[in-house]
Amino acid sequence: MLQAILLVVAQTIVLLAVSPFIVGLIRKVKARLQVRRGASVFQPYADLAKLFRKQPVVSTTTSWIFTATPYILFASTLAAGLLVPVFVSRTPLNFAGNIIALVYLLALGTFFLMLAGLDAGSAFGGMGSSREAIVASLTEPAMILSIFAIALTAGSTNLSTIVHKTALLEGIVTDPSPHLMALAALFIVAIAETGRVPVDNPATHLELTMIHEAMILEYSGRYLALVEWAAGLKLVVFLTLIANVFAPWGIATSVEPTALIVGLATYLLKVSGLAVLIGVLESMFAKLRLFRVTDLLGVAFILALLGLVFFYVLRG
């Protein structure tokens, strides 16, 4: 029991600590590719600290939904993060929810963020919420299908079980194609869900293009800090999911100290690697028009479906 609690606390701390770093790393990579020096990778920590200390300005139009949303968003995203194995393959909270619960926990945050976007009464917020609604609805089917394909190959929908089995090389299908299809689909889904280029651009404040930034436009001070932190967390949750489900190399399958240290180190490497990849991709592509996003997410859906078909066809 004590060990379980300690592991949950450790996982919370790691997730909270890593997420600003990942955001900073992506920004750094993009800056380097644009031949700029860029801010330090630790800049997001300083930003958060600054925002926490600033006095928040709250619109007189808003209701309690506006001030409650940052906490709900933060809690739901972190709760989703606690369901994913990070550096230990057996997460203590495995029983609390499988991958569907994770998807819906993230949806809980999205729902309240959409409400908060509408609450201030400005057209920008409503625009953001409306766009978020369409992007979220298009990602969900692809996400469920890719989850299904993964669940089939691993024989489980519980993330811990999937990762643990894969790490111990149990029940691995010899043909990896369904897995690869699902990986590709899930990667596209992750990009769309976390609001990265080419679906959304986290660096823009232009009303023609912004989605996530439009929803949180009215936030300031500590509320903005929580929302930004939660956005970083969501990104890390998806990267962790992809890294550990498809490449659980090095993850600690027991709770011995050396295994834990190795697990933590490889985890940081893997997530940083994915962050660099995202930075490179963001520099290579331009943001898509909102109504072009349909095509991209359609591709994700088809990929996931093909993964499923391949699984059944290959298995006869």
Partner 1 sequence: MMSVLVTALLTCYAAGVVLPACLPRRPKLQNFVAHGLSAGAGLAGIVLGIVGLLAPAPLILSLPSTLPLLTFAVRLDPLASFFVLTISLAGLSASIYALGYVTEFYGRASIAVLGALFNGFLLSMTLVVIADNGFFFLIVWELMSLLSYFLVVTEHEKADVRYAGLFYLIMTHVGTAFIILAFFIFFQAGGSFSFETFRHPAQPLPDGMRTLVFLMALIGFGTKAGIVPLHVWLPYAHPAAPSHISALMSGVMIKTAIYALIRVYFDFLGGQFPWWWGFVVLVIGAVSALLGVMYALMEHDLKSLLAFHSVENIGIILLGIGVGMIFQTFGLKELAALGLLAGLYHTINHAMFKALLFLGAGSLLYATHTRNMEEYGGLLRRMPWTGVFFLIGAVSISALPPTNGFVSEWLVFQSLFLSFQLPTVFLKLMLPIAAAMLALTSVLALACFAKAFGMSFLALPRSAHARHAEEVPVPMRVGMALLAVVCVVLGIAPMVVVPLLDRVAAPFTEVSIEGKVLALDGWALAPGNVEFSSLSTPVLALLLVVLSMLGLGLVVAFGGLVKKRYYKTWGCGINLTPRMEYTATGFVQPIKRVFSTIYQPTLKLETEFLEESRYFAKRRRFEFHIEPIFQKYLYDPVVAFFTTMADRLRVVQAGSLHLYLTYIFVTLIVLLLLAV
Contact between 218 and partner 1 by CB under 8 A: the answer reads yes
> In this chain, which of 156, 166, 266, 272 binds partner 1, going by CB under 8 A?
156
* CA distance linking residue 312 with residue 257, whole number of Å: 41
In sequence order, which residues have a C-beta less than 8 Å from that of residue 192 and are 6 or more positions away?
A: 135, 138, 139, 199, 200, 293, 296, 297, 300
Strand partners, 252: 88
Residue type, position 263, single letter? G
Interacting stretch for partner 1, rule CB under 8 A, among 34-42, 76-84, 173-181, 262-270? 76-84
Contact between 292 and partner 1 by CB under 8 A: the answer reads no
Interacting stretch for partner 1, rule CB under 8 A, among 20-28, 94-102, 196-204, 241-249? 94-102
Closest CB to partner 1 among residues 155, 176:
155
- Cβ(6)–Cβ(88) under 8 Å? no
> In this chain, which of 21, 74, 187, 219 binds partner 1, going by CB under 8 A?
74
Closest CB to partner 1 among residues 49, 172:
49
Site for partner 1 in 131-150 (CB under 8 A): 131, 133-134, 136-138, 140-145, 148
The tokens of 248 are what? 């659980």
Closest by CA to 238, choosing from 287, 185, 285, is 185
Q: Concatenated DSSP letters for 201-223?
A: -TT---TTT-SHHHHTTT--HHH
C-alpha 54, offset from chain centre = 27
Helix H or strand E encompassing 237: helix 221-246
Sign of the CA dihedral running 277, 279, 280, 281: positive
> In this chain, which of 48, 197, 242, 243 binds partner 1, going by CB under 8 A?
48
Site for partner 1 in 95-134 (CB under 8 A): 95-98, 100-101, 104-105, 107-108, 110-111, 114-115, 118-123, 125-127, 129-131, 133-134
Q: Concatenated DSSP letters for 145-159?
A: HHHHHHHHHHT-S-H
Interface mask (CB under 8 A) for partner 1, residues 247-286, using x and -? ----------------------------------------
Closest CB to partner 1 among residues 98, 201:
98
Contact between 42 and partner 1 by CB under 8 A: the answer reads no
> Min. distance of Cβ 215 from partner 1 in angstroms?
11
Contact between 76 and partner 1 by CB under 8 A: the answer reads yes
* CA distance linking residue 31 with residue 26, whole number of Å: 9
Closest CB to partner 1 among residues 139, 266:
139
Interface mask (CB under 8 A) for partner 1, residues 182-201, using x and -? --------------------
Interacting stretch for partner 1, rule CB under 8 A, among 24-32, 88-96, 177-185, 256-264? 88-96
Sign of the CA dihedral running 257, 162, 249, 199: negative
* CA distance linking residue 157 with residue 143, whole number of Å: 13
